Amino acid sequence: MTTPVAPAEAEDLLRRLAPQVLGAVVRRFGNFDLAEDATQEALLAASMRWPRDGLPDNPKGWLIAVAARRLTDLLRADQARRRREDTVAQWAVAEAGPPPAGERNPADTDDTLVLFFMCCHPSLPAASQIALTLRAVGGLNTAEIARALLASQDAVTRRITRAKQSIKDSGVPFTLPAPGQLPGRLDAVLRVLYLIFNEGYAATSGPELLRLELADEAIRLGRALHAALPDESEVTGLLALMLLVHARHRARTASDGSLIPMAEQDRSLWDRAAIDEGTALITAALPHRATGPYQLQAAIAAIHDEARSADTTDWAQIAALYGVLLRVDDSPVVALNHAVAVAMAAGPGAGLALLSRLDSDPRINADRRFHAVRAHLLESSGDPHAALEAYSEAARLATNMQQERYLNRQIARLQGRS
């Protein structure tokens, strides 16, 4: 052990290592439920010991070894000792010990991307695959997953519980799928990566707007996925999209952490290298095969990033691309963004007309974003009183402190004008 580390530093490291440790344990032994329990206990032990004793030389190896030893106990309690205890003990002799003959050392590799494909298990419906992966790999809590999936927290809890039980009952090995099975799981993997990135882009709750560690991890995994599947245009599109959006993160908050809308951002703070990389990726991807939703969103992000100012943004082209995207993905969030783009291109009345179609959609009509967009368009159309009501509803529904602060500033501004 070395010099003790601050609890916050240990927590950050554990958050990054958790899916890698879980992936290594699950990949080696195939029992997701017990592996998750063992990994959680290893993380808890580390959170107590590392701030006191310091980091081990190989933190990931330490966690894997502790999780594996705990898995031995769990398997024994689960009446599996005779079949598997020797194998587990062999693998987890010590954090620096050699792996079994002919096998790689699990501490030397990153199994997080493998865990993505594992969680997209063929015995599960797509919604359950996504919920389970967001929990196991993304580390999102139930509230964050519920927001990402536009579902209730109770529904998400049931999905995850049923997903684990379905995997256990199915008898299908919880292992890396064969190469021919990968494309069938790719849609769910891409969606989960995108949802994890979105949580990093705008945190569901807490005092900070951004969770940069989630956004950075999603981009890292996107790069790994693109390297593994370079001919999949939607993989390329998603990586491009994440790079193009994340390029703006330094300009999205003020020194006090408060939110700065895109129209007011200092564009000199945008990451030009990331923009260039993302633009090159989407330019190369678009001519190949059918254009999917991630490619379309990346094309939209590129238009935003290439505009020298908010006033020179090509909103007509963005609105047209959102129209195409709606035919591919009829998500209410896409419809909401389409309404904003149309309003910017053709006036707030046109945007409000489109927004009215979402009034009765329960997936979005109780969401902060819906009411915030309505407030902005109502104010732009010359109805400050209705805008004030909409901003108030949006602030009431906000769960992130910085988003709530921004909305309350708009409320105070409108109240000051009345």
> Percentage of the chain with pLDDT > 90?
49
pLDDT band for position 97 (50/70/90)? very low
Question: Does pLDDT of 173 surpass 50?
Answer: yes
Q: Per the structure block, which two tokens stand in for 141?
A: 């809590």
pLDDT at 81: 45
Return the structure tokens found at 215: 């956004």
Q: Look at residue 349 in the predicted model and tell me its pLDDT.
A: 97
For 356-373, the pLDDT digits (tens) are: 999 999 999 999 999 999
Query: Quick one: pLDDT band at residue 407, thresholds 50, 70, 90?
Result: very high
List b or e across 212-238, with b for residues whose CB sees 16 or more CB atoms inside 10 angstroms. eebbbbbbebbebbbeebeebbbbbbb
Nearest to 303 by CA among 254, 226, 253, 240: 240
pLDDT digits (tens, 9 = 90+) for 183-230: 778 888 898 899 989 999 998 888 999 989 889 989 988 998 898 889
The candidate with the shortest Cα–Cα distance to 305, out of 244, 260, 238, 262, is 244
Closest CA to 139 of 246, 16, 42: 16
The pLDDT score that the predictor gives to residue 123 is: 76
Contact 27, 115 (CB under 8 A): yes
Residue 181 confidence class, pLDDT cut points 50, 70, 90? confident
What pLDDT, on a 0 to 100 scale, did the predictor assign at position 101? 44
311, 202, 196, 183: which is closest to 248 by C-alpha?
202
Identity of the residue numbered 113: L
Per the prediction, the chain carries an average pLDDT of 86
Give the three-state DSSP class for 259.
strand
Q: Sort 109 into a burial class: Cβ within 10 Å, 0-12 / 13-18 / 19+.
A: middle
Q: What is the pLDDT of residues 129-153, one digit of tens each?
A: 888 888 887 777 888 888 878 788 9
Assign domain 315-320+330-418 one CATH number from 3.30.450, 1.25.40, 2.60.40, 2.40.160: 1.25.40
pLDDT at 388 over 80: yes
pLDDT band at 77 (very low <50, low <70, confident <90, very high): low
Give the pLDDT of residue 176.
65
Among 9, 31, 108, which Cα is nearest to 64's?
108
Return the half-sphere exposure (C-beta side, CA atoms, 13 A cut-off) of residue 89.
Answer: 8
* pLDDT for residue 299 is more than 80: yes
pLDDT band with cut points at 50, 70 and 90 for residue 262: very high
Q: Rounded to 5, what percent of the chain is helix, strand, coil? A: 70, 0, 25
DSSP-assigned beta bridge partners for residue 400: 206
Burial label for 115, CB within 10 Å (0-12, 13-18, 19+), is: buried
Q: What is the pLDDT of residues 26-46, one digit of tens each?
A: 877 777 778 888 888 898 898
Q: Residue 202 contacts by C-beta under 8 Å, 6 or more apart in sequence?
A: 209, 210, 400, 403
